[in-house]
Structure 1
């Protein structure tokens, strides 16, 4: 057999080996992709229920907080007459004019103004609420009266 014939067979064998190797690797990659796609779809199906449950729990917690905010004046721990409280909701929940009922009934002559935010569970003040609290504590509060004219 001539050297050229052997070289031809070797080249054919190399090409055939390369082709078979490429087909084998491609089949392995396809199998891996399918396995991971199946795992991903299973994870999505399993997680969707957990995500929905978490969403419902968060919604429920928010709703409980909103109810607690509205019902706070009726609770014994509120500490003020409900008639003296004004719900504003944002940025704080209540402004309480402590003693207003007595003043209106002409039994008192002074009030104390209290800013109150109602929190449920482990909730904390927002950044804005912390800044408002600091302003109140530093007595950065004032009174203004705006007089409107009839032609305005």
Structure 2
């Protein structure tokens, strides 16, 4: 009987061992599946979290650069306006000076002899005309500011005058 009990115990131990090994393999397979699913879920979470953080970062950067752009735009607009005002002041000052220059000491002719035409030269001076003794006709271009450069049209007038390509012409219109 002891032998029988030992044999039964061996069979029970064998069956339990075999079942334990089988359960151990199943547990290992289950653990592998769980780890695989956990890794897959982690990767999906990591990907979605990465995408979310990327969108948040992009939105923050966009806001930040939008603010910087608006600041730059306001500063640049202010600078452009100030520059326009300064240029406008210079132009107005130049125009006023052009009209008043015949009354300045630098103007060598009698103001009564000067005729303002504005473009392509500022004045035509009929030197001596107010005294009844016309001596010469002078084209005068007034320049104010830092540079006294002539523009293309003004240079052309100067060149034609210097070449003495200036003529008199009478036009008689009868109006018929």
What TM-score, normalized by structure 1, do the two folds share?
Answer: 0.84
Specify the SS of the correspondent of 1:145. coil
**Distance in 2 of aligned mates of 1:92 and 1:7:** 90
Query: How many residue pairs get matched?
Result: 146
Work out which of the residue numbers 85, 105, 119 in structure 2 matches 1:56. Answer: 85
**Distance in 1 of aligned mates of 2:165 and 2:35:** 98
Moved more, 81-90 or 10-19: 10-19
What TM-score, normalized by structure 2, do the two folds share?
Answer: 0.74
**Distance in 1 of aligned mates of 2:62 and 2:52:** 15
Moved more, 88-97 or 46-55: 46-55
Which entry has the higher C-alpha Rg, 1 or 2? 2
**Distance in 1 of aligned mates of 2:89 and 2:117:** 22
2:145 is the counterpart of 1:121:
yes
Moved more, 33-42 or 59-68: 33-42
TM superposition shift of 1:141:
1.4
Who is 1:30 aligned against? 59
TM superposition shift of 1:89:
0.9
TM superposition shift of 1:81:
0.6
**Distance in 2 of aligned mates of 1:49 and 1:147:** 56
Specify the SS of the correspondent of 1:79. coil
* Structure in which a larger fraction of residues adopt helix: 2
Work out which of the residue numbers 153, 157, 160 in structure 2 matches 1:135. Answer: 160
TM superposition shift of 1:45:
3.2
TM superposition shift of 1:4:
5.5
Who is 1:10 aligned against? 39
Question: What runs of 5+ residues in structure 1 fail to find an aligned partner?
Answer: none
Specify the SS of the correspondent of 1:119. coil
Who is 1:85 aligned against? 114
**Distance in 2 of aligned mates of 1:87 and 1:75:** 15
Who is 1:111 aligned against? 135
